[in-house]
Structure formats: C-alpha cells, structure tokens
Amino acid sequence: MAKQPGSSDLDKDIFWSDIHKYVEQKKLDIEKSRGILRHEKVRKCPNCSKVMAVESLYHVLIDRCQTCGGIFLDEGELELLFKTKSESGFIASLKRFLKP
C-alpha cells in the first residue's frame, strides 16, 4: 500500500499537537466564561504565606487569600477597578475613601 502525500508521522504529530492546543484553549475559554480562573504562577499571601486564589472582581483578576482574606493587586489593577461604574459596594466605598 502506497503512502499518501502528507501522511507522514511528522505531519500526524503536528496535526495532533495543533488539535491539543485548540482543545486546551477551548477549555480555558469555557472555564473563564464560568468564572473558573487559572493563574500561571502561584502567589503566596504576604500576610500569612498561604497560597492565594485568583478571582474576578468587576472583570479584573485579583489575588485573594482564602485564609486571611488579604487582597493583592498587580500594577494598574486598582486603576481598572476605579474605572468601573459601580455605585455601591466595596469599590464605591474605596473610591469615596481614597477620593482627595
């Protein structure tokens, strides 16, 4: 039986690698739409040294300690939170507290 063009083992490996990447991206998209977030690096809480979880607050990813409740914001995240249109709750309170 003759080999068909494009049916080499390398072509198959590339094909399955591309399929795997596509499926993993779709899984991430579904998890993100359900509010399940992954983080590339693990952060430890500066207060209690426990692992922090990544949560979405007004579409901004923040690190929050599940043990002591501490919140860690990366550079620029506080500004993004201030740009939200929230008129009540934590962000509105924080805006009022920090307003000059």
**Residue 7: pLDDT above 50?**
yes
Alpha helical stretches, state H, 34-88? 77-82
What pLDDT does 1 receive?
45
With 60 as the cut, is the pLDDT of residue 94 above it? yes
Question: DSSP letters along 9-33, please?
Answer: HHHHHHHHHHHHHHHHHHHHHHHHH
pLDDT digits (tens, 9 = 90+) for 37-88: 555 567 888 899 988 888 887 778 888 888 998 888 888 888 888 777 767 7
Q: What is the pLDDT of residue 68?
A: 92
Q: For residue 62, list its beta bridge partners.
A: 55
- Mean pLDDT over 7-32 rounds to 76
Report the sign of the C-alpha dihedral through residues 39, 42, 45, 48, in that order.
positive
Write down the pTM of the prediction: 0.47
